[in-house]
A and B are shown apart, each in its own frame.
Chain A
Amino acid sequence: MDGMLVVIWAVRLLFLALLYIFLARVVRSLLRDLRAAAREPGATLGRLLVIESPGGDPEQGRSFDLDAITTLGRDVNNAIVVEDPFASAEHAVLTYRGRSWYVEDLGSTNGTYVNGRVVATVSPLGFGDEVSIGQVRLRLERARLT
């Protein structure tokens, strides 16, 4: 085995090794990214916390994880079922677009209120704002980080 042969083999193996070093680095990034995503379920979304619920359904203190489109109302097909005599079957919908939350009233009988004010059209909603559906009050919170 002369010197040139060693050099040739060294370069060849080095090239293959570099391919795998690249892959390893990528995989490390991927795993880091995955772990971060796992830590934040639905990372960019939020929760709705039930502040007040005279009827008991949904229970006070319960927290709902929010979808990009979350419907609220008395009908069982809603994402969040609000059993309240003053809530309509399809009362309101919460949407997440871009980086903001929006709430829209779906033509309910008694209207939807944000921080005490009735909303007529699509209204932005921030973290900490309260939404009232009938007698139930819910507050928009950030997603849990565990």
Chain B
Amino acid sequence: MTSASSPATRIELPRILGAIRPRARWTETSLIAIVAVALVVGSVSLSLGVTGRLAPFDPRGLAIYVAALVLAHVGQVLAGRRSDEILLPVVGLLGGLSLLLMERLPQDLVTLDIGETQLGLGDVQLVWLVLAIAVATILGITVRSDSWLRRYKYTWAASGIALLLLTFVFGSDVAGQRLTLRLGPISGQPSELLKVILVVFLAGYLSENRPLLIEQDTRLGPIRLPPLPYLAPMVAMWAIALGIVVIQRDLGAALLFFAVFLALTYAATGRLSLVAIGSVLFFAGSALMASLFDHVRDRVDIWLDPFADPLGTGYQIVQSLHAFARGGLLGTGLGEGLPIVGGRLPIPEVHTDFPLAALGEELGLVGVIAILGLFFVVIERGLRIGASAADDFRAILATGLALVVGVQAFIIAAGNLKVLPLTGVTLPFISYGGSSLLVNAIVVGLLLALSDRGVEPPPPPTDVRRWRDRLRRRAAR
């Protein structure tokens, strides 16, 4: 990711953002160009499938979106930071696929009234996408210091839990799950934001106590465990979060939190014993929940054999699998899949829970693998940023952010494909949903900011001093 010869054309702008020094980002430029061409071709393909005309399907929406991407790119160039050049185009392509899908679905799945006009599914998603790109770009450009993240970890954790409790008490029930908070016309899912907040907390805590967690042991017979007193606050935070999430019946989020927690702790300490114990606890916990809660057991039963009741409880997942089957290798073509039976789409909640199935039907296995590849690129970029970060906090934070996106994508894709039971998490950047898009945009923005190789150096050696004290105490024993 070396930039080409960068002409230092100094542009004198007001010093709000500091000195502006544009830096070329040719890799990003070429990728954005490919994205733009691909989306135009995709739009034409969609139009051919739906109306038979050889023209872009929604030229206005397409133009707005591509313009937003180009603007974001120009913004990054002007900002001149040496941040990652691949994240924005990849996310842009995923968002573009989302836009094509939302335009293709019946527009009345979601309506938003703004004064006189009513916006349909495609337009609403476009608005959120543009907002998301803006948020990600702005964060990527402006965030230069991470002290606000790393210093107040317990505050972050507390605010996250508070947010969750707020939802639990004041939230509105949607399909048996109390996940949404409504503020006037806007509704969002705070659990989406919670996962980012808790990753920030974990990053702070793990990076600070990392040497201890690695070196010290609690002996449990022949097994060496990390020092339990130091794990305790962390585990407690997570347990509370998980508990609340489970009470809210958001099993997908619970799985996500747990997986990210385990992965980050392993990444920070390298101790497999932790992973092993964590996995055992997870399976034990799942078994317990399955036996205690009917709705969990039902989900597992449906997952194991959805064809036992293809018209009843297994309907969603059966329809999803049928969609992949109809798609085959190359798909039916954008706009030509999803046969309407009885006036309705065959897959329920296709814009939130099953976008991968819809894309699988219309773009085929080839398309699905490309999409999975795109998600993996996002993960790889995030992990890369983590691996080459300047210090432990940034490393763990970047890793955690990458995991939050990647593991969530895995969970819902696995649910669509019957690899895991179906859960209600969204497919990042592709599912419909403002809160999902915005939170993932925050993640991408933070990753972009973290990837800048010229960021402010890590804070003064308070860490070193504390660590040194601990070593001394240990030696004195």
Residues of A within 8 A of B (CB): 4, 7-8, 11-16, 18-23, 25-26, 29-30, 32-33, 36-37, 43-44, 68-69, 75, 77, 89-90, 93, 95-100, 102, 104, 106, 122
Contacts and interface: CB of A to CB of B under 8 A. Distances in A.
B343 interface: no
B461 A20 contact: no
A22 B54 contact: no
B38 A97 contact: no
Contacts of B120: none
B370 A95 contact: no
Interface in B389-417: 390-392
B388 A89 contact: no
A106 B45 contact: no
A43 B475 CA distance: 33
A122 B468 contact: no
For the complex of A and B, the 3 pairs showing the least CB-CB separation, nearest first, are A98-B457, A18-B38, A19-B370
B390 A7 contact: no
A116 B44 CA distance: 72
Nearest to A45: B390
Nearest to B371: A19
B131 interface: no
A100 B468 CA distance: 20
A30 B1 CA distance: 8
Interface of B: 1-2, 27, 30-31, 34-35, 37-38, 41-42, 44-45, 48-49, 52, 54, 85-86, 89-90, 93, 330-331, 333-334, 363-364, 366-367, 370, 373-374, 377, 380, 384, 388, 390-392, 453-461, 464, 467-468, 471-472, 475
Given A11-B44, A68-B391, A26 B377 contact: yes
A143 to B, nearest CB: 13
Given A22-B35, A75-B475, A104 B370 contact: no
Contact of B458 (A12, A26, A37, A98): A98
Contact of A16 (B35, B363, B377, B380): B363
B384 A104 contact: no
Contact of A97 (B41, B333, B390): B390
A89 B367 contact: no
A91 to B, nearest CB: 11
A12 B330 CA distance: 9
A69 to B, nearest CB: 7
A13 to B, nearest CB: 7
A23 B464 contact: no
A25 B454 CA distance: 25
A15 B45 contact: yes
Contacts of B458: 97-98
Contacts of B35: 22
A30 B380 contact: yes
Contact of A14 (B41, B330, B384): B41
B370 A69 contact: no
B42 A22 contact: no
A128 B129 CA distance: 50
Contact of A26 (B54, B90, B468): B90
A106 B461 CA distance: 12
Given A30-B86, A68-B392, 4 more contacts: A18-B41, A19-B38, A68-B390, A75-B475
* Residue among A4, A14, A97, A104 with max Cβ neighbours from chain B (10 Å): A97
Nearest to B392: A68
A37 to B, nearest CB: 7
B390 A104 contact: no
